[in-house]
Amino acid sequence: MKPSRDIARLLEIMAALRTPVTGCPWDLEQDFSTIAPYTIEEAYEVADAIHRGDTDDICDELGDLLLQVVFHSRMAEEKDIFDFGDVVHAITRKMIRRHPHVFGDQKQHEAGMSKAIWDAIKAEEKAEKAARHAAHGTAERAPSLLDDVPISLPALMRAEKLQRRAGTVGFDWNSVPSVMDKMHEELGEIEVELNAPEQSKDRIEDEIGDLLFVVANLARHLHIDPEKALQRTNEKFRTRFRHIETRLGEQGSTLQDASLDEMEALWQEAKTAPKGK
């Protein structure tokens, strides 16, 4: 079997990997739940390649991400749930529906996309999803406004989306100072738990979670993406720590040999070093 630009070849490869006896033992053992973490990981690797501006890697990582879609589709096809064609049909239908100002009639072209039209489209999609769940017997409870905020999102990103969704019905702080007050309150509650006669890791974890949730809310009120802000700080930390390692190496020393004071001095040096040095 040779490589190809045709999606049909990728579908054939996946089918071969999942064929009992002659297929790949590892691929045959997988199911939706075991593959899901790889799907998330591949999406992050696409984002990382984009961040680095490595176009070759972007191409490779998009291929890995596409494989995840094909893998899930093949497993579903084996269970007669849906196949890759159904996935393509679903997304093309959704894109056409969500862009009536592009794919609709002349009047829709002239009207453009308004918030009212967008809200109506989203409402229709939610109603259809609820009907599908009801038909399949998977609707165990009344739908919630927060149902479609995925639990698999990074925690800060999910916090921001949950808060934003709740804010659409007025469940929100009305000012930045009020969020700041809540943040100070949560810091105080952490101090209380830390100073308790008998510390509880669960209670401390709860309070730290509350603080992070409020920080995400503060970022949202300031129109800052909390996930992006933390990623930026992570990269800043990595760069400055790398500076410490480099400078110690230049001095004939290592991280293991250096004292905390020496590392702190180099950390401060890194903060004032020109970018890119």
- DSSP three-state, residue 169: coil
- 211 membership: H or E segment, kind and range: helix 201-221
- Give the type of residue at 61: E
Radius of gyration of the chain (CA): 25
Regions of the chain short of the pLDDT cut 70:
110-111, 137-142, 275-277
Q: What is the pLDDT of residues 151-163, one digit of tens each?
A: 878 899 999 999 9
- For the chain, helix (H) and strand (E) counts, in that order, are 13, 0
Q: What is the pLDDT of residue 141?
A: 64
Q: What is the pLDDT of residue 82?
A: 96
- Burial class, 59, CB count within 10 angstroms (exposed 0-12 / middle 13-18 / buried 19+): exposed
Q: What is the pLDDT of residues 33-53, one digit of tens each?
A: 999 989 999 998 999 899 889
Q: What is the pLDDT of residue 131?
A: 79
Q: What is the pLDDT of residue 11?
A: 97
Q: What is the pLDDT of residue 121?
A: 83
Cα 106 → chain centroid: 37
Q: What is the pLDDT of residue 138?
A: 64
